[in-house]
Amino acid sequence: MNKCIKRIVMKLGKTLTKMPLLNSFRGKIKFKNKSGLLIKCKIKSKGNGNEIIIGNNCVFKRCSFTLLGNNCKVLFDDNVFAQNAAFFIEDDNGIIRVGSDTSFAGKIHIACTEGAKIIIGRDCLFSSEITIRNGDSHSIFNINSDERINFAKDVIICDHIWVGNRAMINKGVLISSNSIVGNGAIVTNQFTEMNVVLAGVPARIVKRGVNWNAKRN
């Protein structure tokens, strides 16, 4: 057992027994207290200075955290719930930040590249089979100038956003608070207006002046 894994044992106490797939993790994982749970999660880090910081009362079931760069950070505020979520950072200085009370109900892939950020606000609800990426993972060049045209750009999903099944959120997207993303939407633009429904391919505003809650009445 290396030093890093010893530190996780101390921080997690009993919950380590529920974490049989723990791989070697070079960097730090910090729980703000001992109330967090990692159940059947995989953690992989290659590089230096990587951190996963988890707030109070967070629960992660069958999630993976992959940090393949240096000085990458995955940060969760309090009461985050995720199952079957993959948090993936390639390249240096990437940041994935998730606000308090946000839930990832089903399979979701969050891919962060080229040192850009993915910021998710408070009280958001993500359905299943969703992809969020702040880069394209491969390069596109202008054939005349040879210049690259598709650099990664921050993704910002503000507070209280509900994202429907099979939505995809691409680089540079901004979704403003209290909004809803319809199922199957491919979101590619910045939406500065709050309280809207975004839907379609590419996603457009299909309704204004709405809000949502997680209940059915």
Ligand X SMILES: CC(C)(COP(=O)(O)OP(=O)(O)OC[C@H]1O[C@@H](n2cnc3c(N)ncnc32)[C@H](O)[C@@H]1OP(=O)(O)O)[C@@H](O)C(=O)NCCC(=O)NCCS
Chain positions contacting ligand X, by CB under 6 A: 127, 164-165, 180, 182-185, 197, 199-200, 206-207
Please identify, using beta-carbon distances, which residue of 13 and 200 lies nearer to ligand X: 200
Element spanning 7, H or E: helix 3-12
Angle (CA) 203-207-212 rounded to 5° is 100
Considering the complex, state which of residue 155 and residue 199 has its C-beta at the smaller distance from ligand X.
Answer: 199
SS3 (DSSP) at 152:
coil
Indicate the residue among 6 and 207 with the shorter CB distance to ligand X.
207
Shortest Å distance, C-beta 13 to ligand X: 33
138 vs 215 by CB, closer to ligand X: 215
Minimum Å gap between C-beta 108 and ligand X is 12
**Which positions ≥6 away from 143 have C-beta within 8 Å?**
none
User: CB 199 → ligand X: shortest distance, Å?
Assistant: 4
Greatest extent of the chain over all pairs of C-alpha atoms, in Å: 59
Q: Which two tokens stand for residue 148?
A: 């690259």
Question: Whose CA is closest to 95, among 108, 85, 110, 84?
Answer: 110
Beta carbons of 132 and 109 less than 8 angstroms apart: yes
Q: Which residue has the tokens 């590089």?
A: 47
For residues 67 and 198, which CB has a smaller minimum distance to ligand X in the complex? Answer: 198
Q: How far is the CB of 197 from ligand X (least distance, A)?
A: 5
Query: Least distance (Å) from ligand X to the CB of residue 150?
Result: 25
